[in-house]
Structure 1
Amino acid sequence: MELTDQLGKEIIRRLSKYIDVTINLMNAKGKIVASTDPNRIDQLHGGAQTVIETTESQFITKENIDCYSNVKPGANLPIFHRGKLAGVVGLTGDPEHVVQAAGMTQGSVEIALEQIFIQRQAFYQERQWSHWLQRLLQDGEMDHEDLESEAKFTLRVDVHQIWQVGIFQSDNPFELAENLRKNLHPYNPLFVLPFQENRVIVPFPYDDFPIKLSAIDGVKIGIGEPGYSVAGVRSSYYQAKEAIELSGEYGKIVYSKELEMERLLNFKDSLTYDEVTKVYRQRFTQLEQAYIETLTSYFDNDLKMSRTAEALHIHRNTLIYRLDQIHKKIDLDPRKFKDAILLQSILLNT
């Protein structure tokens, strides 16, 4: 990476807060691309040109100043990035007085260049993964071979393994993605990408055990089933998405595996569903909230009366009364198997 006008200005902005002498940054051709003295910008610096030719530091004094063009007394040091000359940093003043500051500035510039390089690489790779993910999840058939080839030769990842996708849904997906990249690093995810308006997608490598994550306040988390290669990532994504849609709550983790009945009920012909449930749904909308909460808890507790009453903190007789009222108001008895299935389906789609 070479020093450019934009990079140089940003580095100068940072360094000028701590160094009170003139700082010049020259590119690999010796042109001053940034300086705390605006009048020096775009000029060729003779001392920097010598540094570039020799790759050695040059100290300009009043005695040898005539040996260089367009210079002032000071210290000029080479800047290297990944073994290649990236430019030159120069500090104006008596070389004996500024040499230490020049060395510190040289180190600071090299560190800044590496940080910027890493940030750019990460940003570029994230854009590549985002494009790959968009192609993977687009409607219609996907090109398995092309996606696998792009992952291998462009993104340098072999996707021929089992993946389990997690979807993290939040009002601030970009901040969430940054936190997940730090905290999920031990899991070695394929990527951590904000996707659409409020989701972060994370495919985890699967090793015969379900992903064990901790719930996050203010975040819905859905986990799909394990799947192989690109097709597995795609199917696991849609399973995780469906898990959130069916049972997702903020601060809760929902596994697709735990929602097999709900997923099956959700897979229906809409016309037939409307025909069968229309009257019941109209009656359901008239239910008081206490009855809806009772019905939800009753199903969550596997139709067990004692467990439901305990969960709701009500007497068993109160629970029986409420179930009787639901039967009376909707004409479906939640204690009967077929009626319970219809009521569960209506609950899931309300």
Structure 2
Amino acid sequence: MLTRDLAQEIVEETMRRLDRNINIMDENGSIIASGDAVRLDTYHEAAAEVIRTGQTLVISPDNQGLWRGANVGVNLPIMFQNRTVGVIGVTGAPEEILPYGELVKMTTEMMLKQNYLKLQTEWQQITMDIVVEELIRAENQNLQGALHRLDTLKMTMKPPYQLAVVYLPNRTSYSQSVLRMAESIMGNVRLVSSFLNVHTWVIVFYDRAEARVRRDLERLQDLLRNQGIEAQSGMSSSVCSFEDIAYAYQEACAALKLGLKQGRVITGYLEVETQALLSEVPTESKERFMGRHLPKLPEKLLVTLRVFLECNLNIARTAERLEIHRNSLVYRLTQVKELTGYDPQLFQDAISLQFLVWLKE
């Protein structure tokens, strides 16, 4: 825990302020950091005594000879989690430097704790990254490995499971700050998350109702927007099997892809499921279908058709949105029927025309 690099950083930072030589010794009494490079890796008997007793040891001219490798000064135990992990020695007249020594000891222990918490956070996030990767693999899904790592994190993921894929087009280096913001805005939401790459953030929600997940994502989007961070999200349907998390990931990706095309902030898979299924049709079949009908429809009729379908085949609402007379709308729909062979006002024909519009988009 008390590494040479950290010890040397503490020594250099402290000596700038105190203008006194500082030594830091490890649990074996060996000097691992010092303002005097000659003393590195030498044995410090006074430090070994401090390690043994856990008590501050003052070295004066009277007792200096008792401790090999010791200069006049004070040696204080460095405590971490109720254990002496090292010793910090400050050279100088004890009556002058003892108050400074206590301050240096407190600062050292604080830096040690901060470094430990940083390492713990990094370890936890690395473990979570691996868990997410193991869960979303379409092939070679490693469920046992994921469960083992979740156990080390003291986490138990209970169904239902739901995934969100968040796209951050302008992201540079704020992954950790985004994660912290997400935790703060969502409170005790049960989730694991990971950045797959510089722009893609995957969040796996568990033991959470679909409506609640949607609200959590909306709150996250609001937070990101307030921070000036542009983001769009795709959300999967809810699944109850651990194995199906990989399929949920594919759903979230499909929803995000369609949402990006349509300019949506949050796109749920169930909102675009038919369009997503359409994307699985072989490319040649889609091209033949579009090739037969799209060239026959001018842009004005395509726009009219799209709005008519968005209005659920409602003549009055469509005419209002397009700001045209009902008779003009009926005439345009008749033109669509004549050109394609499909009548937009008939449900079965409207389905084929809806596929045509989606493929065009």
Matching residue within 239, 245, 259 for 2:272: 259
Q: 2:355 maps to which residue?
A: 345
Give 2:116's aligned residue. Answer: 117
Find the partner of 2:290 among 268, 271, 277: 277
Of residues 55-64 and 257-266 in structure 1, the stretch that sits farther from structure 2 once superposed is 257-266
Residue 10 of structure 1 corresponds to 9
Query: 1:156 is matched by which residue type in structure 2?
Result: K
**1:154 Cα shift?**
3.9
- The aligned residue for residue 128 of structure 2 is 129
- Judge conservation of contact 2:131–2:146 (CA < 8 Å) in 1: no
Does the C-alpha gap of structure 1 residues 55 and 274 become closer, same or farther in structure 2, counting only changes over 3 Å? same
> 1:191 aligns to what?
192
1:327, 1:219 → 2: CA distance?
38
Aligned to 1:203: 204
Of the structure 1 ranges 52-61 and 316-325, higher mean CA displacement relative to structure 2 is found in 316-325
Match of 1:316 in 2: 324
Partner of 1:157: 155
Q: Which ranges of structure 2 fall in alignment gaps of 5 or more residues?
A: none
Q: Name the CA distance, whole Å, in 2 between partners of 1:19 and 1:301.
A: 76
Moved segments of 4+, more than 6 Å: 290-294
How far is the alpha carbon of 1:58 from its aligned partner?
Answer: 0.8
Structure 1 residue 59: Cα displacement: 1.3
Q: Residue type of the partner of 2:276?
A: R
Does the C-alpha gap of structure 1 residues 315 and 153 become closer, same or farther in structure 2, counting only changes over 3 Å?
closer
CA RMSD for the aligned pairs? 3.4
Q: Within 1, Cα distance between the matches of 2:66 and 2:338?
A: 100
Q: Deviations over 1:65-124 (max 9, x none)?
A: 222222222221111211222111122222222222222221222222222222222222
**1:55, distance to aligned residue in structure 2 (A):** 1.4
Per the alignment, do residues 20 and 183 of structure 1 end up closer, same or farther by CA in structure 2, a change over 3 Å counting?
Answer: farther
Equivalent position amino acid for 2:132 in 1:
L
User: Secondary structure of 1:140's match?
Assistant: coil
How far the C-alpha of 1:322 sits from its partner, in A, is: 11
Residues 71, 334 of structure 1: CA spacing in aligned structure 2 closer, same or farther, 3 A cutoff?
Answer: farther
Amino acid at match of 1:233: I
Deviation at 1:237, TM superposition (A): 1.8
Secondary structure at the aligned position of 2:174 is classed as helix
3-state SS of paired residue (1:228): coil
Report if aligned partners of 2:167, 2:200 keep a CA contact under 8 Å in 1: yes
- Which secondary structure does the structure 1 equivalent of 2:154 belong to? coil
CA deviation vs aligned residue, 1:162-211 (integer Å, no higher than 9, x gap): 22212111132751453233333514333221013421111122333421
SS of alignment partner, residue 272 of structure 2: helix
Structure 1: stretches of 5+ with no match in the other structure: none
User: Contact (CA 8 Å) 1:73, 1:92: kept in 2 or not?
Assistant: yes
Deviation at 1:28, TM superposition (A): 1.0
TM-score by length of 1: 0.82
Task: Quote how far apart the aligned CAs of 1:26 are.
Answer: 1.4
Q: In the TM superposition, what are the counterparts of 1:6-155 in structure 2 within 5 Å? A: 6-140=5-139, 142-144=141-143, 146-147=144-145, 149-151=147-149, 153-155=151-153
Q: Deviations over 1:238-282 (max 9, x none)?
A: 221111011236771222222233233334233322322234456
Q: Is the 8 A contact 2:57 2:75 kept in 1?
A: yes
What secondary structure is seen at the aligned counterpart in 2 of 1:192?
strand
- Checking the alignment, whether the CA contact within 8 Å between 2:136 and 2:245 is kept in structure 1 is no
Preserved contact between residue 130 and residue 146 of structure 2 (Cα < 8 Å): no
Q: How many residues align?
A: 343
The amino acid of 1:236's aligned partner reads A
TM-score scaled by structure 2? 0.79
